[in-house]
Structures are given as C-alpha cells and as structure tokens.
Amino acid sequence: MIIEVGKIREIKDENTYEALIDLGSYGTIECKALRFENEPRVDDEVIVFMFSKEQDSLGIYIPLKIITAETDFVGIARSKYKIEFTLDKGIEIFSNYNPENPDEWDTKISINGKNININNTDTNINLVDKKLNFNNGDTEINIDGSTVEFKGNQLTIETKNTNLTKSKVTHTGKVAPNGNGPFCGIPFCPFTGAPQTGDIINPGN
C-alpha cells in the first residue's frame, strides 16, 4: 500500500464525495472518501491510500485538517488524539488532546528526521543521532556517544559485584571520619605532613 498527501482537484459526486486527487508525480487518481466530518472542497489536502502507482488505480482518501497557511499544518484530529504533519516540525502525535485549547494535552510524540521527542506534563525524552536526554524535573540523564551524565538527588546501585574496568573516577569533597568504611578521613599524615587523600582514582594496568 502507498500513502501519499494529495490535493482535491475535482469533486465528482456531491453525495459520496468521490473525487479526483492530484498526487503530484503520481498524477491524478480517482478516490473514494473514507470518512468526513466536514464537506470536502476543491484544493483541500488529503491523505490518500492506494494499492499501486498506476494512474488508473482506485484510492481511498481521508481529510487533512488545514489550520493556517503560515504554519503549513496538515493533520488528523479526533476527540482525544491528533496527528499533525508540518514541514518544520515533521510528525507530531498528541494524546488526550483538547480541541478547544491546542496547548492542552497529556503526551506528545514528535518525529522530525533523526530527532525523536517524547513529552508529557512531567517527563521529556529527546533522541538526536547518538545523543539522548531524559529529564523529569528532578533527574536528568544525558548520553552523548560514549559519555553519560547523570544529575539527580540520589543514585543507588545495588549489585553483588561492581567492576569499574579501565575507569578514572574523580570526586571532590572531604570524608567525615566515623570509624566505618574504606575512605580515609585524614588529609595529611600528622607526623610527616604527606598527603593521605586524593580526588582521583586512576585505572590500574
């Protein structure tokens, strides 16, 4: 099946809305209307489903909702879901969309080339090429190639064994001595003055 965006050239039947649709390089094909809430008009843009590229192939079309020429918006809107196709933003899918307030929705998924974004009222996930960003307001994770950055109030890792292979670890701050744990709380030797602590752990051979 081939899916294309076309434009109504002629309404052949005012009752069934059978129409001739201009598909650019595919030429003009005759299509039947699948469903319309409003009467289609000549020059309306529509989504066409056809089974072959032949000009005598019979297709089916559904409406594209055109908002304004400035935004170059075409899409499908229903009670709780909306799909938008725009030249600058690509494809946007909305759930729990409020037709009375376009800025009111629960979740939006945007696909524009290699840029994929998932956004709801609490969390945003963005993927571009090899870069991934996750942000929910309290925690942020950034992945850029082989670099991972974590920002949050607390990180808990619970495993039987933790191996840091060929890793360089950097940590600033001071140890509060409490008689437990493997960290040294004496910055300098009280006898020689030699430093006893450091903020970098270099990988071994």
Q: Which regions of the chain does DSSP assign to beta strands (E)?
A: 2-11, 19-22, 28-33, 45-50, 59-63, 73-77, 81-86, 90-95, 107-112, 115-120, 124-128, 131-135, 140-144, 147-151, 169-170, 200-201
pLDDT in tens, the chain (205 residues): 567 778 888 988 888 888 888 887 777 888 888 755 567 888 888 878 776 655 555 677 766 654 433 444 444 554 566 777 766 777 888 888 776 777 888 899 998 888 999 998 789 999 998 899 999 999 999 999 889 999 999 888 888 888 777 777 788 888 888 888 778 888 888 899 998 888 888 776 5
Q: Name the residue ranges covered by the structural domains of the chain.
A: 2-63
CATH 2.40.50.230, domain 2-63, yes or no: yes
| Sequence-separated (6 or more) residues with CB below 8 Å from residue 2 | 49, 50, 51, 52, 53
Q: How far apart are CA 107 and CA 94, in angstroms?
A: 6
